[in-house]
Structure 1
Amino acid sequence: MTSRNLSTQLRALVVDDNMINRKIHQKMLNGLGVECMGVANGKEAVDVHCYGQSFDLILMDKDMPIMNGIEATKKLRSVGICSMIVGVSSRSMEVEIREFMEAGLNDYHEKPLTTAKLASIIHHIINTKVFYSYNDHFIFGKFLNDPFI
C-alpha cells in the first residue's frame, strides 16, 4: 500500500470555534488527501466520538467556548480515544503549552499552521500506521505458521 493510498484513508477532526480557521485547516488537510470533519468546540468533538465516529488525527484548538481544548483532550483520553491529538493555538507561553500537552496531546503547534506542518503530521501518522500494519501482519503470520498453536 502506498503512502498516497494510506493518506486517502486517513480521517481528521478539526476542532476550532473560529469557522475561518476551521475551514482553512480542513481545506489544507483535504489537499493532502485526508478526509475531514469540523466541529466548533470541545463538547462537539467529544459528542462526535460518543456517536461512534473515529479519526486518525484530531486538530484541537485550545481556547473555545463551552468546552476548551484542554478539557476536551482530557475527556477524549479518559474514554480511551487513542487518536493523535495535536493542539493548536496562538498562545506561546511555555506554561500554557505545558498544561495543554499534559492534558494528553501528542503534539502542539502554534498557529498559523502551514501545509508543511500538516504534511509532517500526516507523514508521521502514515509511518506509524505502516509500522503497526507491518508488525500486525508479521506477528499474525508467525502465529499462523507455528505448528504448536
Structure 2
Amino acid sequence: MLERQVLARAVLRAAGVEADEAENGAEAVRRVRERVGGGGAYDLILTDKQMPVMDGHEATRQIRAMGVTTPIVAVSSDSLPSDVQAFTAAGADDFTPKPLTKEKVGHILSKFGLA
C-alpha cells in the first residue's frame, strides 16, 4: 500500500469518515456502478488524477455518464489552473490540493452538507 493512501485513510478516519477505498480508477467506477445497481449511492467520491489503470479524469467522466450526481471532489498534487479545469470539465464538483488534511476533509464535508 502506498504511503499516501495510508495517510489519506488516517486523515479520513480522524475526521470520522467511513471510506470505501478503490485501488485504481477502473475499480472505483465498478464499485460506483455496483452501488447504483443495488439501489444505493455514496455520499461523496474523492478522486485523484494519478490513479493506475484509469486516471481520475476518466473515472469521473464514466461515473457522471452513469447519471450519478454524488459530489465528486478531486484531490491532487497537480493543482495548476489547467489541472483544476480538467477535473471540472470531467464533472468534478470541487478540487482540493494535496496534502489532504483533517481541516480540508472537514471543509469538504461541510461544503456538501455531510458534517
Give TM-score, length-normalised by structure 2.
0.86
Aligned counterparts of 2:5 and 2:88: Cα–Cα separation in 1: 21
Aligned counterparts of 2:113 and 2:83: Cα–Cα separation in 1: 29
Structure 2, unaligned stretches of length 5 or more?
none
Partner of residue 104 from structure 2, selected from 89, 103, 117: 117
Q: Deviations over 1:12-35 (max 9, x none)?
A: xxxxxx732222222212222221
Q: Deviations over 1:52-83 (max 9, x none)?
A: 26311111011122110000000000101111
Structure 1, unaligned stretches of length 5 or more?
1-17, 130-149
Matched, 1:88 2:71: no
Aligned to 1:105: 92
Kindly indicate whether structure 1 or structure 2 has the higher relative contact order, using CA contacts under 8 Å at least 6 residues apart.
Answer: 2
> Conserved in 2, the CA contact under 8 Å of 1:59 and 1:87?
yes
Aligned counterparts of 2:91 and 2:34: Cα–Cα separation in 1: 21
Q: Percent identity?
A: 36
> Conserved in 1, the CA contact under 8 Å of 2:47 and 2:73?
yes
Aligned to 1:34: 17
Q: Which amino acid aligns with 2:29?
A: V
Q: Deviations over 1:68-104 (max 9, x none)?
A: 0000000000101111111011112221221111100
Bigger Rg, structure 1 or 2 = 1
> Conserved in 2, the CA contact under 8 Å of 1:19 and 1:40?
no
Count of matched residue positions in the alignment of Structure 1 and Structure 2:
111
The structure carrying a bigger helix percent of its residues is 1
Residue 59 of structure 1 aligns to a residue in which SS?
Answer: strand
Residue 105 of structure 1 aligns to a residue in which SS?
Answer: coil
Give the aligned CA root-mean-square deviation in angstroms.
1.8
Alignment of 1:1-149 (within 5 A): 19-52=2-35, 54-126=41-113
Give TM-score, length-normalised by structure 1.
0.68
The structure carrying a bigger strand percent of its residues is 1
